[in-house]
Amino acid sequence: MTVPLTPLSLSRLVRPWLRSLAATLTLAGSLTLTIPDALAQSRFYTPISLPSSNEITDVLSDLDIPTGQGGYARDYAISLETGDQVAIDLTSDSFDTVVMLLGQGGMTIGENDDGPDGTTNSLLFTRITTQGDYIVRVRSFGEGAGGEFTLKVTRLRPF
């Protein structure tokens, strides 16, 4: 599949996907993006799976999902069970964090901007009522550019 693109549309379209596509760029009078057919038919949105430790240190950048508010977001997939009580802790020295838990169809289950410790880190507590796959969304507040962060999801155990 070959799609002709202008330099401006190429910039807007390709930057978020460059890391996940095996794509080639050629210059022949205009910019052309060539994508193998198998990739052209695959989904472009694929959340990152959290490692088995449910903790990751990563970087939020302008290559991630634009929020429409000047910032960026990065999504992580996690499976949760009915009755799970979870604490989602997002910390960064580089930007003002916001953490969200999204359920089926993108419905917001919970969101936190600034945690109880008075910093711009985020801490979200929630109880899961339906077993399934969820998305933990890491984003910057407002027009924050991003930077390094640590995300940790902890299943809380009753005493």
Chain segment 139-158, per-residue pLDDT in tens: 988 776 789 999 999 998 76
Question: Are 19 and 96 members of one domain?
Answer: no
Report pLDDT for 115.
77
SS3 91: strand
Instruction: Give the integer Cα–Cα distance in Å for 129 and 68.
Output: 30
> How many structural domains comprise the chain?
2
Structure-token pair, residue 140 = 């910057």
Between the alpha carbon of residue 155 and those of residues 26, 62, 75, the distances in Å are 48, 31, 19
Q: Which helix (H) or strand (E) holds 11?
A: helix 7-14
Question: Are 22 and 83 members of one domain?
Answer: no
What is the residue type of 79? S
Report pLDDT for 81.
93
Question: Are 24 and 67 members of one domain?
Answer: no
Contact 101, 29 (CB under 8 A): no
Q: Which helix (H) or strand (E) holds 39?
A: helix 37-40
Question: Are 83 and 25 members of one domain?
Answer: no
Instruction: Give the integer Cα–Cα distance in Å for 65 and 45.
Output: 9
Whether 137 has a pLDDT exceeding 80, the answer reads: yes
Split at pLDDT 50, 70, 90, the class of 159 is low
Residue from 83, 79, 72 nearest 157 by CA: 83
Radius of gyration of the chain (CA): 18
Whether 25 has a pLDDT exceeding 80, the answer reads: no
SS3 69: coil
Domain residue limits at 87: 48-156
Report pLDDT for 42.
45
Whether 105 has a pLDDT exceeding 80, the answer reads: yes
Question: Are 7 and 67 members of one domain?
Answer: no
Question: Are 52 and 36 members of one domain?
Answer: no
Report pLDDT for 6.
52
Question: Are 147 and 77 members of one domain?
Answer: yes
Averaged confidence pLDDT in the chain: 78
Question: Are 24 and 98 members of one domain?
Answer: no
In the numeric block, the tokens 């970087």 are attached to: 59
Question: Are 66 and 36 members of one domain?
Answer: no
Question: Are 33 and 57 members of one domain?
Answer: no
Whether 75 has a pLDDT exceeding 90, the answer reads: yes
Question: Are 68 and 118 members of one domain?
Answer: yes
SS3 109: strand
Question: Are 63 and 95 members of one domain?
Answer: yes
Judged by average pLDDT, the poorest of 25-29, 30-34, 152-156 is 25-29
Judged by average pLDDT, the poorest of 13-17, 52-56, 76-80, 147-151 is 13-17
- Residue 114: which CATH number? 2.60.120.380
Contact 72, 140 (CB under 8 A): yes
